[in-house]
Amino acid sequence: MEKYDLKENMLDFIDRQKILSLIKDEKTPTKEEVRDIIKKSIEVSEALDLSDVAKLIKVNDKDMLEEIYQAAADVKKKVYDNRVVTFAPLYASNLCVNNCLYCGFRRDNKDIIRRTLSQKEIYEEARVLAGDIGHKRLIFVVGEHPASGADYIADSLKIIYSVKVKTKNGYGQIRRVNVNAAPMSVDDLKKIKAAGIGTFQVFQETYDKELYSRLHPKNTPKSDFNYRLYALHRAFEAGIDDVAIGALFGLGDWRFEVLGLVQHAKELERIFGIGPHTVSFPRLERASGSELVGTAVSNDDFKKLVAILRLSIPYSGIIVTCRETPEVIRSIIPFCTQRDASTKIGIGAYSERKNSQELNRQQFELGDTRKLDEVIGELADMGYITSFCTSGYRCGRTGDHIMKLLKSGVESRFCKLNAILTFREWLDDFASDEVKKKGEKLIEKELDEVLKDNKRFTPEMKKTLTTYYEKIRSGERDLSF
C-alpha cells in the first residue's frame, strides 16, 4: 500500500476541469477505437482511463451501442458467471441531521414519520427477512444522527447475525450485513469492522463539487465534500477492505458522475491497490417533502451508462435496485451482479407487514415491489441463477485477494458453485411450487455444465460439490466453497 497520510492529503482528487473538458472535447471514437477499449476492459486488469470512458460516452451509433452492451454482458459473465446475487435493504432509522434537498429523510422535512428501530425491532426485521423471505444478505441503512451512530450500527450487526430461524428443510440466517451510513472516523469504523461488517458503502451523491455545495446546505455535516470523498480511505485505514461507491444519477449531468465514479475507483486502486467491491447508480426518485427536480436520465441513457460503468471498472460488482421498474431492471440485468427483491424501505416495514410503499416513512419511491419468489422465477426464465452466496467474505476472499481472483476470472468458478448450493437451499426452504420447478431445471443445467467442464473445475471440486449438494438436500445449511 502506498504510504498515505489522511490528515495531510485530504485534497480533492476529482479533477472537475479535466472531467468537464473530456465531456466537451472528446471526439466520437471510430469503431476500431471502441473495439480496442472493449478489449482492454475484457482483460479485466484495472479501471479504464478517463479518456477511454469519455470516448465510450460519446458513442451514439446504434450498432456500436449494441457491441458495447454485448461486451458489458460478456465481462459480467467472465468475472461473475451467470449468477445474480440477491439481497434486501434494512432501513433502521430515518433520523438525520443533514438537509439534502433531494431526500425524504432530510432534517427539515415535516411530512415524514421519524423513527429509529430498537435492537429488539431490528431482530424482528431480520427474523422475517431470514425466516419468511429467505434472504441471506442485507444492506443496513441509517441516516446521519447521533441515535444511529457507530455503536448503534455495531450492536445492530451483532443482533442481526444472532438470528437463526427454523425453515421448511433447514434454517435461515443472515450471513452478511453490508452497511450504508454516513462517513465516519477511523475509530468508529473499527467498531463496525469488529462487529462483522461486510461491505461499507458511502455514495458521493454527486462528484461535481459545485453542484454538491448547492444540494447540501452549509450548516450540515454533509456539506463537507472532501470528508465524504475520503470516507472509504478511512475505511481502509480501519481495516475494512470491502468498500462500495455510488452516485445519485439525475442530480446533474450523468456523464460527469460516470467519470467521477471511475476516477474514484482509480484513486482507490492507486492508493490501496484495490478498487471498489461494488458500484451503485441509483436514479433520483420522488421523495416525501422534496420539490427538487433533477436532470432526468432517460432509460436509454441509463442503460448506456450502466454498460459503460460495467466496462470501465470491470472487476467490480454492479448493483441495480428496486428503485427501478421491472422493465428497466430487465434491460440492464445482463451487466449487473446484484439486485434486491421483496424490498420494503419503510422503517420497521418487514415485521410490521406494512405496505411496500409508504412515502411518509421512506426515503424515496420504489419502482419494483415484486416478491423475491417472482423475481427469482423471472431471472430463471432469463437464464440467470439466483445466488445467496456470502462465502467470499467468510473464506477470506476479500480485499486484494478477491481482486486478484476476480481479475483472473477464477472467482467466477466459485460464483457458479456457490450459486448452485445456495440456490438449492432457497428452493427447498422458500420457493413456490412454480418457481421450484423452474429452479430445478436451471440447477440441473448448471450442475451438468460443472460436471462436464474439466478446464475450470478439478475432480476434487466436482466431488465436493456433489457431497455438499446432497448434504443440503438433507437439511444441512451454509456449505460453500
* DSSP string computed for 364-394: S--S----HHHHHHHHHHTTPEEE---HHHH
Residues 305-344 that bind ligand SF4 (CB under 6 A): none
The DSSP letter of residue 131 is I
| Minimum CB distance to ligand SF4 smaller for 100 or for 427 | 100
Residue 248 Cβ, how far from ligand SF4 at the closest point, in Å? 8
Q: Indicate which single residue of 91, 105, 256, 414 sits in contact with ligand SF4 (rule: CB under 6 A).
A: 105
| Minimum CB distance to ligand SF4 smaller for 83 or for 222 | 222
Residue 116 Cβ, how far from ligand SF4 at the closest point, in Å? 13
Residue 423 Cβ, how far from ligand SF4 at the closest point, in Å? 34
Residue 355 Cβ, how far from ligand SF4 at the closest point, in Å? 21
| Minimum CB distance to ligand SF4 smaller for 98 or for 356 | 98
| Rg value, the chain, Cα | 21
Residues 74-103 that bind ligand SF4 (CB under 6 A): 96, 98, 100, 103
**CA 460 and chain centroid, separation:** 32
- Helix, strand or coil, per DSSP, at residue 147: helix
Q: List % helix, strand, coil for the chain (3-state, nearest 5).
A: 50, 10, 40
| Minimum CB distance to ligand SF4 smaller for 103 or for 389 | 103
Q: Indicate which single residue of 55, 106, 135, 228 sits in contact with ligand SF4 (rule: CB under 6 A).
A: 106
Residue 184 Cβ, how far from ligand SF4 at the closest point, in Å? 13
| Minimum CB distance to ligand SF4 smaller for 343 or for 391 | 343
Residue from 176, 180, 169 nearest 135 by CA: 176
| Minimum CB distance to ligand SF4 smaller for 98 or for 418 | 98
Q: How many residues bind ligand SF4 (CB under 6 A)?
A: 9
Residues 387-446 that bind ligand SF4 (CB under 6 A): none
Residues 49-78 that bind ligand SF4 (CB under 6 A): none
Residue 97 Cβ, how far from ligand SF4 at the closest point, in Å? 7
- Indicate whether 222 belongs to the interface with ligand SF4 (CB under 6 A): yes
Residues 115-144 that bind ligand SF4 (CB under 6 A): 143-144
Q: Are 311 and 75 in contact (CB under 8 A)?
A: yes
| Minimum CB distance to ligand SF4 smaller for 85 or for 150 | 150
Residue 275 Cβ, how far from ligand SF4 at the closest point, in Å? 24
Here the cell at position 326 is: 421491472
Strands 171-172 and 165-166: antiparallel
Residue 281 Cβ, how far from ligand SF4 at the closest point, in Å? 16
Burial class (CB in 10 A: 0-12, 13-18, 19+), 135: buried
| Minimum CB distance to ligand SF4 smaller for 100 or for 329 | 100
* DSSP string computed for 442-470: HHHHHHHHHHH-TTT--HHHHHHHHHHHH
Residue from 44, 53, 28 nearest 259 by CA: 53
Residue 469 one-letter amino acid: Y
- Distance between CA atoms of residues 326 and 370, nearest Å: 8
Q: Are 465 and 413 in contact (CB under 8 A)?
A: no
Residue from 216, 205, 252 nearest 99 by CA: 216
Beta strands in 54-183 (DSSP E): 83-93, 137-142, 165-166, 171-172, 176-180
- Indicate whether 190 belongs to the interface with ligand SF4 (CB under 6 A): no
| Minimum CB distance to ligand SF4 smaller for 290 or for 398 | 290
Query: By rule CB under 6 A, what string of x and - marks binding of each residue 248-267 to ligand SF4?
Result: --------------------
- What are the backbone angles phi and psi of residue 116, rounded to the nearest 5°? -125, 125
| Minimum CB distance to ligand SF4 smaller for 105 or for 236 | 105
Residues 139-168 that bind ligand SF4 (CB under 6 A): 143-144
| Minimum CB distance to ligand SF4 smaller for 134 or for 282 | 282
Residue 267 Cβ, how far from ligand SF4 at the closest point, in Å? 22
- Distance between CA atoms of residues 67 and 329, nearest Å: 19
| Minimum CB distance to ligand SF4 smaller for 55 or for 228 | 228
Residue 106 Cβ, how far from ligand SF4 at the closest point, in Å? 4
**CA 402 and chain centroid, separation:** 16
Residue 216 Cβ, how far from ligand SF4 at the closest point, in Å? 7
Residue from 251, 203, 259 nearest 231 by CA: 203
Residue 463 Cβ, how far from ligand SF4 at the closest point, in Å? 49
Q: Are 253 and 210 in contact (CB under 8 A)?
A: no
**Chain contacts with ligand SF4 (rule: CB under 6 A):** 96, 98, 100, 103, 105-106, 143-144, 222
